[in-house]
Structure 1
Amino acid sequence: MKQINSSSRARRAAQAVAAGAAIALAAAGCSASPGGGAAPASGGIAVVALTQEPGMLSPMFSTQSGSTLALAFVVEPLFTTLDTGERVANLAAEIPTQENGMVSEDGLTVTYTVREGITWSDGEPFTTDDLAFTIDVTKEPGTLAIPDAEYASIASYAVKDPQTIDVTFTAPQPNYLNLFTQVLPQHRFDGPSIAEDHPELREPTGTGPFKIEKWTSGDEIAFVRNDNYWRPDTQPLLDGVTVKINPDLTTAVGGFTRGEFDLVFGLTAGDLDEVAEAVESGAPIELHEKPENTGFVEWLWLNNSDSGQLGTPHPVLGDPAIREAIDRGIDREGVLNDVLGGFGTLSNSLVYSGFGGELTETVPYDPEAARKLLDEAGWTLGSDGVRTKDGVRASLKFQTISGDEVRALYQQVIQQNLKDIGIETTIENVPSNIMFGDAADGGLLATGDFDLMMSRAGKLPDPSEWMMEFRTANIPAGPDAPGYSYAWWSNPEYDALVDTVTSELDPELREEAVHAANELFAAERPAIPIYASPTAWAWSSKLQGVTDDSWNGPWDTTSSVHWSFSGTGE
């Protein structure tokens, strides 16, 4: 484990303009196994700090990271993904395979079975009718759902009994266990056509150990114990969890180090030093790093099209020389070592985690080479230090999610790096709902109304869904189309590789396609990775029984059900 750099945020800002590249680090209880240490007791309310309040908590209908809080307390998947990428049965009775006869020889039909005795938090039975209804919602014309990619390949289904459903796909789906990450309760809806204001989208009913009691916008979300939790031998120990909405991450981290919060959802790598300083000063906090697991990559999204007009190159970023110059002009090592205390790694791969993931080498920091590229491509340096070509200034709007002090500093590092090679950037940061919102709501990624954007993404156990983000078919076709595009980039060769990855059952051929896509993506540079964060967790030492062996660490119902405060009583 690396030695933690104990310099404060203020000193880091004075020494260098630093960026807040996000770590896959959530301030949450971890590593202590259920039942470890003092005997757990029931009662008490854990307090979580959140900075990016989502518009809704139903993950199937939201692209905001805050909505995944529901997966920590309320919503349970059929299959839980471990931090190794392996999937294990959760609501499912068993894992379907060809060996046990639950996957057909041609790979087209999968039999899903669910455990008996599962109930929703309102006491109604959970059955395969709910799975069928979930499929129907994803197939409804004009649906508001943003389902996992595998739903689009479902040709038909047949409910055999309350615990069994056969799902037939149009083509083999190697990631078929990715279905039913969220199941919708059929009895809570009038039909598969769901209105935007339906209460289940904002406050979903689930099968998890907690349920939503009250949501006061701008203040808090209160989760309480689910008295109908279906696991008789594993009942939630806490009375509840209160999620407090904070104005920004700086406030949340400060509150955490002072003991005001037990957990923080979504710390950044730049905050690790501050948490470490608190630990060194005696704060009741523990840190746990998992060097074997790569965390999220911080990406620079380059708009390859002009204002959402696919096929019309962006006047600046449409030039490959500009994209390569940006890549060579960013001092990643400086960010890692001078800003983030050496935590993190560098990677040039689109797919860097899970199946087929690899950490390939980035191009070296070489501003002189970047300048030479631009000179040779006809981008002439003006008297104001900004390059022009054919009357077009190399001037770009640069945006990331507002409210993150460290990331904003990081952004300024990149701004200065690009200025040094003659590319001007203007910072205009926005809330996450503006960045990731639908086109109808003015979402920037959805409308293509951006130049440079920065956020973290791509950490998934299987590459299919992540790679499809950059497929031509996933680019919004019009102002009323759902979804968004990180790069507004279209490449037929890439599309063909994605088709292989999403349909090929032979793992060797799939992996070859993933690696080929990584090479193509690195060469074309529709987006540029800044760095890969480590996976680490921090938590209040008062909180016991929290595990971090799921893909989302402690943010999983298999963890939160065990949370307790040692010594508390009912």
Structure 2
Amino acid sequence: MDGTQAKLGPEMARDWLLRHRLNRRQMLVSSAAAGLGAMTGLPRRASAQSATPTAGGRAVIALIQEPGQMNPYFNGQSGSFLSVLACDPLFTADAAGNYLPVLAAEVPTVENGGISEDFLTITYTLRDGILWSDGEPLTADDFVFSYEVYANPDSTPLLGAQYSFIESVEAIDPLTFQVVMNGINPGYLRLWDNGSPVQPMHRYESTAITQDDPLARMPLGTGPFVFTEWRTGDEIILDRNPNYRVADQPYLDGITIRVTPEKEAAVASYLAGDFDTIYFFTTGDLQALTQAELDGAPIEIALQEIPGSTEWLWLNLSDQGDLSIPHPVLGDPLVREAIDHALDRETVIEEVLGGFGFVIGSSIYTGFAAVDLPAAAYDPERANALLDEAGWVAGEDGIREKDGVRASLRYQTIAGDQVRELYQQVVQQNLADVGIEVLIENVPSNTIFGSWEEGGIFSRGDYDILMSRDGGDIDPSEFTPLFVSSQIPSEENPAGLNRVRYNSEEYDAAVADGESTLDQAARQEAYARAAEVFARDRPSIGLYASAWGWSWNERLQGVTTDNWDGMWPSSATWFVEG
């Protein structure tokens, strides 16, 4: 949004709500037909700016999901991405998806000599004078070290599949390093991004860094703030980085993150002025926040211009992670298709989310390769017919059975989010209506997203249906690896990303074609094939795409948002009034 957002005042918000309610059904119908709806007139805004930022003071953030550690290099839990307060990426992207240098001095291209003619060698040049928060200089050796951590079999990083394309990383001089790929990789600008920040070589004794390493728990970075203290279950303290790369920033003395696992209590405290913001708000919060602002709450709201991440129903296709045995219920593609048609998405979006959501039909719906595919129509009769065709017969209690197996599924998400629990109940009733029993068993974040070594149920395959958000990325290659067969987790591949255990040669080939060229037209065609295979096989099912938004107390100034990382990358310019 480039920091130029329209203010959502009470009159505009009231107009938005009125128009939204009047046109929601029409928009849902059109979005289902096109695969994705556009919420026209979506309000967006930035914090009103004071003439002169004032230094000092602290912001207070409520953290709903406390992760095991804050370093996303080693932890995929959502709270770990607050590391953006302390760590900088090599590149960032503007609202249109164009990459911009942050730690890098420039974006490598063929024209500036940063990309070799065979597209296999990428030369990165760092900005001069950047320091780690402890005063040590950032050098090319840190990037070499970070790759060696990834490559060390005794280390346990959780990184994107794009790192598997790297053949070697070599420091040319203190500010220059080269990455040699073992194949063309269009994700070269996403290496060392917010989800996998560069690691400081001088902080560790070896590259064998594990997730329980106390030094890895609170990352050392080059960003505006420094992690200084963590009292588990209570609060996390960040203080101003005195060595930050931008003179006179950050303006705040620091940020206090308060662990507040009950979402509703956190929102109530936020509206009462106890918190400056919450990590994180969901689509389900937007209706209440908008109404609260109409009622005079001292808050600001910014809504993303494009659809955000999707609330996915991740379907376990294996039996307790055993790839040799299909899941007794979800392993049947007709059952997955029936579930898709049984979902009343319109009710979820309209009645639970207050209309703040989109119906999607495609797994790739943002960025240059967005694919328009129709969403499955809400059609219980069709769902019942599919289950009949598959041989699932209703028992005396109405729940279907086949070959002695009862169509009973655990449905889990992170505990403590009452809005999510509401649409879980809609899904539960939708599936009961077609003879599938759903047992809601929500658990803490660590239980779901813990690593393979920690026994995380997502990684280990110890679940039936899990629900969390993902997708809506700048580039499809950030999402598609979640479903390629080489990313299935195992003892030999504990960091694998394909936790639904989807195994499709056709999908693998389409994704490989999209990742093996820098020709955007060819990539677009390849990802269109991947999206079509995904829509046919339904390894996961999208419930809705978020109308993503952020909110903060009006005393917190200097906030801007973007379409990819929200308000968090602007923390260096935050300041408090009063």
If the length of structure 1 is used for normalisation, what is the TM-score? 0.91
1:90 counterpart (102, 117, 124)? 102
Q: Find out whether 1:121 has 2:129 as its counterpart.
A: no
Q: Find out whether 1:193 has 2:208 as its counterpart.
A: yes
Q: How far apart are 1:197 and its partner, in Å? A: 3.5
Q: Find out whether 1:445 has 2:458 as its counterpart.
A: yes
Whole-Å Cα distance in 2 between the matches of residues 446 and 245 of structure 1? 25
Partner of 1:142: 154
Amino acid of the structure 1 residue aligned with 2:209? I
RMSD, aligned α-carbons: 1.9
Cα 1:462–1:489, aligned 2, differ >3 Å: closer, same or farther?
A: same
1:331 counterpart (335, 338, 344)? 344
Relative contact order (C-alpha < 8 Å, sep 6+): which is higher? 1
Give the 3-state SS of the residue equivalent to 1:469 in structure 2: helix
Cα 1:198–1:389, aligned 2, differ >3 Å: closer, same or farther?
A: closer
Whole-Å Cα distance in 1 between the matches of residues 343 and 361 of structure 2? 13
Give the 3-state SS of the residue equivalent to 2:346 in structure 1: helix
Give matches, 1:54-133, under 5 Å.
54-71=67-84, 73-133=85-145
Q: How far apart are 1:5 and its partner, in Å? A: 7.8
2:271 counterpart (257, 260, 265)? 257
Partner of 2:440: 427
Cα 1:227–1:168, aligned 2, differ >3 Å: closer, same or farther?
A: same
Whole-Å Cα distance in 2 between the matches of residues 156 and 511 of structure 1? 28
Whole-Å Cα distance in 1 between the matches of residues 134 and 89 of structure 2? 18
Query: 366-375 or 114-123, which moves further after superposition?
Result: 366-375
Give matches, 1:101-250, under 5 Å.
101-181=113-193, 182-232=197-247, 234-250=248-264
1:278 counterpart (276, 279, 292)? 292
Amino acid of the structure 2 residue aligned with 1:239? D
Cα 1:480–1:134, aligned 2, differ >3 Å: closer, same or farther?
A: closer
Q: How far apart are 1:125 and its partner, in Å? A: 0.6
1:44 counterpart (47, 57, 71)? 57
Amino acid of the structure 2 residue aligned with 1:211? V
Whole-Å Cα distance in 2 between the matches of residues 413 and 520 of structure 1? 28
2:211–2:217 CA contact under 8 A, matched in 1: no
Cα 1:194–1:30, aligned 2, differ >3 Å: closer, same or farther?
A: farther
Give the 3-state SS of the residue equivalent to 2:459 in structure 1: helix
1:225–1:236 CA contact under 8 A, matched in 2: yes
Partner of 2:280: 266
Q: How far apart are 1:526 and its partner, in Å? A: 0.9
Partner of 2:383: 370
Cα 1:326–1:533, aligned 2, differ >3 Å: closer, same or farther?
A: same
1:445–1:484 CA contact under 8 A, matched in 2: no
Gaps of 5+ in 2: 1-12, 20-43
Partner of 1:548: 561
Q: How far apart are 1:479 and its partner, in Å? A: 7.8
1:516 counterpart (529, 538, 554)? 529
Cα 1:529–1:424, aligned 2, differ >3 Å: closer, same or farther?
A: same
Query: 328-337 or 542-551, which moves further after superposition?
Result: 542-551
Give the 3-state SS of the residue equivalent to 1:426 in structure 2: strand
2:480 counterpart (464, 467, 477)? 467
Whole-Å Cα distance in 2 between the matches of residues 430 and 471 of structure 1? 27
Cα 1:479–1:246, aligned 2, differ >3 Å: closer, same or farther?
A: farther
Whole-Å Cα distance in 1 between the matches of residues 390 and 564 of structure 2? 44
Cα 1:230–1:403, aligned 2, differ >3 Å: closer, same or farther?
A: same
Q: How far apart are 1:142 and its partner, in Å? A: 2.9
Partner of 1:26: none
Q: Find out whether 1:498 has 2:511 as its counterpart.
A: yes
Q: How far apart are 1:276 and its partner, in Å? A: 1.8
Q: How far apart are 1:433 and its partner, in Å? A: 1.1
- Cα deviation 1:411-470 (Å, max 9, x = unaligned): 011000000000011111111111111233221111111111111111321111311111
Whole-Å Cα distance in 2 between the matches of residues 471 and 355 of structure 1? 21
Whole-Å Cα distance in 2 between the matches of residues 31 and 359 of structure 1? 31
Partner of 2:572: 561
Give the 3-state SS of the residue equivalent to 1:4 in structure 2: helix
Q: Find out whether 1:31 has 2:46 as its counterpart.
A: yes
Q: What percent identity do the matched residue pairs reach?
A: 48
Whole-Å Cα distance in 2 between the matches of residues 106 and 155 of structure 1? 14
Give the 3-state SS of the residue equivalent to 1:295 in structure 2: coil
Whole-Å Cα distance in 1 between the matches of residues 524 and 472 of structure 2? 16
1:554–1:560 CA contact under 8 A, matched in 2: yes
1:302–1:486 CA contact under 8 A, matched in 2: no
Q: How far apart are 1:357 and its partner, in Å? A: 2.3
Whole-Å Cα distance in 1 between the matches of residues 450 and 120 of structure 2? 34
2:286–2:549 CA contact under 8 A, matched in 1: no
2:394 counterpart (366, 381, 398)? 381
Q: How far apart are 1:196 and its partner, in Å? A: 3.8
If the length of structure 2 is used for normalisation, what is the TM-score? 0.90
Partner of 1:18: none
Whole-Å Cα distance in 1 between the matches of residues 255 and 290 of structure 2? 25
Query: 442-451 or 54-63, which moves further after superposition?
Result: 442-451
Q: How far apart are 1:347 and its partner, in Å? A: 0.5
Partner of 1:313: 326
1:288 counterpart (298, 302, 309)? 302
- Cα deviation 1:153-179 (Å, max 9, x = unaligned): 111232111111111111111110111
- Cα deviation 1:293-348 (Å, max 9, x = unaligned): 11110011111111111132111111111111100001001111112111111102
Give the 3-state SS of the residue equivalent to 2:358 in structure 1: coil
Cα 1:479–1:167, aligned 2, differ >3 Å: closer, same or farther?
A: closer
1:469–1:485 CA contact under 8 A, matched in 2: yes
Whole-Å Cα distance in 2 between the matches of residues 46 and 315 of structure 1? 50
User: Structure 1: which 4+ aligned runs deviate by more than 4 Å?
Assistant: none
Give the 3-state SS of the residue equivalent to 2:207 in structure 1: coil
1:346–1:359 CA contact under 8 A, matched in 2: no
Gaps of 5+ in 1: 7-28
Whole-Å Cα distance in 1 between the matches of residues 286 and 191 of structure 2? 34
1:392 counterpart (394, 405, 410)? 405
What is the aligned residue count? 539
2:240–2:253 CA contact under 8 A, matched in 1: yes
1:209–1:236 CA contact under 8 A, matched in 2: yes
1:111–1:164 CA contact under 8 A, matched in 2: yes
Q: How far apart are 1:485 and its partner, in Å? A: 3.2
